[in-house]
Amino acid sequence: MKKSIIKGTGKFLPPHIVTNDDLKEIMDTSDEWIRQRTGIHQRHWITEEDACGSSDLGTEAAKMALEAAGWAPEDLDFIIFATLSPDIMFPGGGCLLARNLGLNSTPALDIRQQCTGFLYGMATADAYIKSGLANKVLVVGAEVHSSGLDKSTRGRDVTVIFGDGAAAVCVEASDTEENVGLIASALHADGNYADSLMTELPASNLFKRMPEGVSLDDPRYFPVMDGPTIFKKAVRMLPQVTQEVLKKAGMDIGEIDLVIPHQANKRINQAFGQFLKLPEDKVFHNIQKYGNTTAASIPLALHEAIEEGRTGKPGDVVLFVGLGAGLTWGASVYKFA
Ligand SMILES: CC(C)(COP(=O)(O)OP(=O)(O)OC[C@H]1O[C@@H](n2cnc3c(N)ncnc32)[C@H](O)[C@@H]1OP(=O)(O)O)[C@@H](O)C(=O)NCCC(=O)NCCS
């Protein structure tokens, strides 16, 4: 049976770093509050000078992943682009990214699964590979949050946690009987919690997408989040979906060498590790450097975990797990070939 094997990874962050102290200059917050509540020390944000879209950040990450895989863009037979911050309303960022790579006919699919974009993207890549529809797939997660955040004190709970960034993986079909590659995925969504984390405007479900008389400073034009509800959901659902995916994979938690969770809040991931009785060094964190980069977060963590030698050797098993807006949540088990 065909297996989905990661052949290369890449990342790209806009160069400008915004520290917690920088945020203190524009809103009522503190380095201490942000570090204690989230584990974040800094994040990367685009500037007026290097303003660009998520597809542009994704393109740079994709180039690095392609080089690591030894592939040319023309080798790709499918592109999956995950973002909640598309460059423009339409067309999708996958088309723009393919254009940036010099392609003009490779199929490109956008997915809008927010923090679980990479999990849904990998599961989709795997389904395309297993069904024989594709052999070389590029999965990209990329976000430009900073241009849409409420940078006043009103938006501080959301704004301090989000960072811009991108990461990409090249996934290839391999004909092998070995139990390697993407072994199992479990995905979920519950739209009943859509209001817990959303940006409401502009909205196509209104007679006028940008309603008359509503100021562009209206909170509905910015992401709003019921942080405590999402926190509680994450602490409950992440262990649950982990048990589900391990059962599908026919493994137990002791066989996981490294957990690479979505980087939404360090306390969520520490609580997850404690619940599953994992040693601290088995859960990977890089939220301190980047904040929450949403669809980019898991592949960015994967890229750095490989770079740091924490995983990537043949036989190493990693667990990807995350929850975010939608709500969507999920997990997958991957074994390096
Ligand atoms: C956002 C989050 C960090 C807030 O932490 P929290 O401990 O739940 O804090 P609360 O929202 O209860 O707010 C506590 C206080 O801090 C204040 N506060 C919020 N943001 C602040 C900031 N950036 N700086 C200083 N104070 C802040 C609140 O106004 C509140 O003040 P009050 O007690 O006077 O009303 C946390 O809820 C969280 O991480 N939630 C999950 C996020 C997530 O996973 N999202 C999905 C993926 S995107």
Ligand 1 mean position to 157 CA, how many Å? 5
Residues with CB under 6 A from ligand 1: 29, 33-34, 37-38, 115, 156-157, 160, 197, 227-228, 230-231, 234, 264-265, 268, 292, 324
Asked if residues 302 and 121 have their Cβ atoms less than 8 Å apart, the reply is no
Determine the pLDDT at residue 1.
86
User: CA 124 to CA 86: how far, in whole Å?
Assistant: 19
Q: How far is CA 221 from the centre of its chain?
A: 22
Active-site annotation holder among 262, 265, 269, 303: 262
Tell me which residue has its CA closest to atom 21 in ligand 1: 157
Q: Which amino acid residue places its CA nearest to atom 44 of ligand 1?
A: 264
Question: Would you give per-residue pLDDT tens digits along the chain (337 residues)?
Answer: 899 999 999 999 999 999 999 999 999 999 999 999 999 999 999 999 999 999 999 999 999 999 999 999 999 999 999 999 999 999 999 999 999 999 999 999 999 999 999 999 999 999 999 999 999 999 999 999 999 999 999 999 999 999 999 999 999 999 999 999 999 999 999 999 999 999 999 999 999 999 999 999 999 999 999 999 999 999 999 999 999 999 999 999 999 999 999 999 999 999 999 999 999 999 999 999 999 999 999 999 999 999 999 999 999 999 999 999 999 999 999 999 9
Question: How many residues belong to the chain?
Answer: 337
Establish how many alpha carbons lie within 13 A of residue 293's alpha carbon, considering only the half-sphere containing its beta carbon: 35
Q: Report the phi/psi class of residue 17: left, alpha or beta, with left for phi > 0 and alpha for psi in -120 to 50.
A: beta
pLDDT of residue 99: 98
Please tell me the distance from the alpha carbon of residue 44 to that of residue 166, in angstroms, as a whole number: 11
In ligand 1, the atom with minimum distance to the C-alpha of 162 is 48
Instruction: Label residue 334 exposed, middle or buried (CB < 10 Å: 0-12, 13-18, 19+).
Output: buried
CB atoms within 10 A of CB 225: 18
Of ligand 1's atoms, which has the minimum distance to the CA of residue 322? 47
Residue type, 188: H
Ligand 1 atom closest to Cα of residue 156: 23
- Catalytic position from the list 44, 95, 100, 115: 115
Q: How far is the CA of 265 from the centre of ligand 1 (A)?
A: 10
Please calculate the CA angle 230-231-233 and round it to the nearest 5 degrees. 60
Ligand 1, atom 17, lies closest to the CA of: 157
DSSP letter string, 50-79:
T---HHHHHHHHHHHHHHHHT--GGG-SEE
Q: With residue 288 as reference, give the H or E element that holds it.
A: helix 287-290
Cα–Cα distance for residue pair 245/125, rounded to 1 Å:
17
Domains of the chain: 2-175 (3.40.47.10), 181-335 (3.40.47.10)
Residue 104 appears among annotated catalytic residues = no
How many CB atoms are located within 10 Å of the residue 78 CB?
A: 21
Atom nearest to 23 CA in ligand 1: 23
Question: How far apart, in whole angstroms, are the C-alpha atoms of residue 113 and residue 278?
Answer: 28
Active site annotation includes 286: no
H or E segment at 260?
strand 258-261
Alpha carbon of 78 to ligand 1 centroid (Å): 39
Q: Specify whether 115 is catalytic.
A: yes
